[in-house]
Structure 1
Amino acid sequence: MTRWVALLPAEGSESYEKAGTAAGVSASAVGPDLPGSFGGLGATWDLTSERSPAEVAAGLGLPEPLEAVALTPMHWSVVPLDGQRVKRTLLLAVRPGTAAELVARLEAELLAMPAHISTIRSWALSRVDQERTPSRWTHCWEQEFADVEGLTGEYLGHPFHWTCVDRWFDNEVPGAGVVEPLVAHVFCWSERAVLVDD
């Protein structure tokens, strides 16, 4: 099984909800991106499947997702949370030629966020599988929150975010701005857990 994230147009995205019953699919969740999202296409489709999102969509007579990435999970933690939750996805691209040491430091500081930010529930950091899905994105950083305020409030406004993590996204910070300026920061409601133990 492979975890995938696909970006879809918002119009018609509800049709992808039936993917959860398709052959070879163990989990599927789709939702329109909420206000405040940017860099996406209008909806996000999380899929765990033996087949690619394009193959699953074709089997259901649905349009092929405009952008989909296969994920290679690095680290994750699953925290029980009942009912509806907000699933946030950050797709980012590390600049070509960035030293491996700097990439490792960026990853380590992303992974440190849950220890500082109490509103993060389940989370996962993955690299994009470039062999399966050649992509402009290199990493996918995902979290689940009990509500939107957990993301837009404590997470985005937390001192650890601004002092330790945000510098990696600022190309004016000498020696640290290694992330390309264009990112996909998208979040949507989900009726069930998206990030689960494999």
Structure 2
Amino acid sequence: MTWTMGLRWCYAVPDHRAERFIADTNALRGPGILSSHAGSHGPGSWSPWSLTWDLTLITDGPGRPHIPEVDELLDRWSTEVEVTSSAVLTPRAWRQAHGDDGIEDLVHRVLLLRVAPSAPQQQIRALEASLLRMPDHIPVIRSWSLSTVSPASRRYWTHCWRQTYRDAADLVDPDTPDSYLAHPYHVTNVDAFFDPHNPRRIVDDFSHAYYIC
């Protein structure tokens, strides 16, 4: 399972403290922890928090996992870092790109969505299908996963669409050919679900953030 958290600084911390916290999260190890990645959000992110922390865990329990190493780290940093969003994800589909583990400074993108409660199931399935077809049309996407937020941990968000990229230009640069956000497939097949002026819109809120790790 994957557990993604949005965090913000309690005050303007010095750069060296921010770097220390990110280093601590990325170095976290312990029983049941398969991976731990965190980073400050890059330019162009659209999110109510400052950092994202992603954990891949060996656990099947619903709701917020209780991992002693995670709890200890958050307690140690509680005067400087606040958890403002927490979502346990249930993967629907995914692909792990060969060689991602060997790439330094890999870009991790996390898109959290809130589908409107009134959205018809047919439209929700159409959104999910459009997202899942993106890697077939946008080759700069490396690893990816589409998940729903576990009902036991659901407070606001309903879905999470995660990807990795070799560099930020592949994700956000409008002048980079076939970058994710500017790609014709994105514009013609996905944007409508988010556009408040489009009758197909069913996503009423989202957080778009990426970090380098």
Scaled by the length of structure 1, the TM-score of the pair is: 0.86
> For 1:20, what is the secondary structure of its paired residue?
coil
Give the distance between the partners of 2:185 and 2:94, measured in 1 at CA: 19
Q: Is the aligned partner of 1:179 residue 2:197?
A: no
Is the 2:7–2:51 contact (alpha carbons within 8 Å) kept by the matching residues of 1?
yes
Give the distance between the partners of 2:158 and 2:66, measured in 1 at CA: 18
Is the 2:26–2:37 contact (alpha carbons within 8 Å) kept by the matching residues of 1?
no
Is the 1:90–1:142 contact (alpha carbons within 8 Å) kept by the matching residues of 2?
yes
For 1:147, the equivalent position in structure 2 comes to 167
> For 1:41, what is the secondary structure of its paired residue?
coil
> For 1:4, what is the secondary structure of its paired residue?
strand
Scaled by the length of structure 2, the TM-score of the pair is: 0.80
Is the 2:26–2:38 contact (alpha carbons within 8 Å) kept by the matching residues of 1?
no
For 1:72, the equivalent position in structure 2 comes to 90
> For 1:22, what is the secondary structure of its paired residue?
coil
Q: Report the alpha carbon displacement of residue 55 of structure 1 after superposing the two structures with TM.
A: 5.3
- Per-residue CA deviations over 1:78-105 (Å, capped at 9, x if unaligned) read 1123312100000011001211111000
Q: Is the aligned partner of 1:57 residue 2:78?
A: no
Flag the structure with larger Rg: 2
> For 2:190, what is the secondary structure of its paired residue?
helix
State the superposition RMSD in angstroms. 2.0
| Structure 1: segments with no counterpart, 5+ residues | 191-198
For 1:41, the equivalent position in structure 2 comes to 49
| Structure 2: segments with no counterpart, 5+ residues | 174-178
For 2:176, the equivalent position in structure 1 comes to none
Is the 1:3–1:71 contact (alpha carbons within 8 Å) kept by the matching residues of 2?
yes
Is the 1:94–1:179 contact (alpha carbons within 8 Å) kept by the matching residues of 2?
yes
For 2:195, the equivalent position in structure 1 comes to 170
> For 1:183, what is the secondary structure of its paired residue?
strand
- Per-residue CA deviations over 1:40-71 (Å, capped at 9, x if unaligned) read 41111010224727854323333362211000
Give the distance between the partners of 1:34 and 1:18, measured in 2 at CA: 17
